[in-house]
């Protein structure tokens, strides 16, 4: 009697198995949207580091990168810094930028980058992006030092 009961329970429990296998197969073989395929096939993931230094400024500067490259700014200076793009604005980025937000003008701008912290942005638009690093001063009497950088995206 227990054997029949066990078989009935097993049959009820696993009768959905073929359906679940079919759904799993469909999910695994379906392709992502065409837009992400186009971008991922064109872009190779690379990273470039720019260090913000007290005396040397931005190292390296300028930099030349390919579309899809993530630029990482690392603040080695004693003061918080903020990145603002000047002439050509960055309005589109791939993946999720770190420590950046979209400003009122529709372009990316960094939050203050504290000492030892990073900000990163992935570039997908071609062009020459000039930017300034503003030193965040908490004393209004001190002149704000500006660092200028250029990112050329091919």
What pLDDT is attached to residue 122? 95
For residue 123, the cross-strand partners are: 69, 93
Percent of the chain with pLDDT over 70: 66
15 and 66 within one domain: no
17 and 47 within one domain: no
64 and 9 within one domain: no
Higher pLDDT, 38 or 64: 64
Eight-class DSSP state of 152? E
Mean confidence (pLDDT) of the chain:
78
77 and 13 within one domain: no
49 and 17 within one domain: no
* The token pair that represents 14 in the structure block: 């696993």
User: Is the model's pLDDT at 23 over the cut of 80?
Assistant: no
47 and 20 within one domain: no
Phi first, then psi: give them for residue 36, nearest 5 degrees: -65, -30
Cα separation of 143 and 18, whole Å? 71
95 and 26 within one domain: no
106 and 60 within one domain: yes
Question: What pTM, to 2 d.p., does this model score?
Answer: 0.69
Binned at pLDDT 50, 70 and 90, residue 45 comes out as confident
12 and 60 within one domain: no
What pLDDT is attached to residue 15? 55
Instruction: Find the domain containing 19 and state its range.
Output: 2-30
What pLDDT is attached to residue 60? 97
Binned at pLDDT 50, 70 and 90, residue 146 comes out as confident
User: Could you read off the pLDDT of 107-136 as tens digits, one per residue?
Assistant: 999 999 999 999 999 999 999 999 999 888
The predicted model gives 1-17 an average pLDDT of 47
Q: Are 66 and 47 in contact (CB under 8 A)?
A: no
Pairing mode of beta strands 46-53, 69-75: parallel
**What's the structural domain count of the chain?**
2
Rg (CA), the chain: 25
What pLDDT is attached to residue 87? 86
């Amino acid at each position: 009697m227990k054997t029949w009961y066990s078989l009935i329970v097993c049959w009820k429990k696993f009768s959905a198995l073929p359906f679940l296998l079919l759904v799993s197969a469909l999910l695994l073989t379906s392709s992502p949207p065409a837009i992400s395929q186009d971008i991922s096939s064109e872009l190779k993931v690379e990273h470039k580091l720019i260090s913000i230094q007290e005396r040397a400024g931005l190292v390296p500067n300028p930099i030349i990168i390919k579309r899809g490259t993530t630029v990482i700014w690392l603040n080695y200076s004693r003061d918080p810094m903020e990145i603002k793009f000047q002439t050509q604005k960055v309005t589109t980025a791939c993946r999720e930028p770190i420590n950046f937000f979209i400003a009122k003008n529709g372009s990316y701008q960094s939050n203050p980058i504290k000492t030892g912290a990073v900000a990163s942005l992935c570039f997908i638009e071609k062009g020459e992006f000039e930017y300034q690093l503003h030193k965040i001063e908490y004393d209004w009497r001190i002149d704000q030092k500006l660092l200028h950088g250029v990112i050329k995206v091919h």
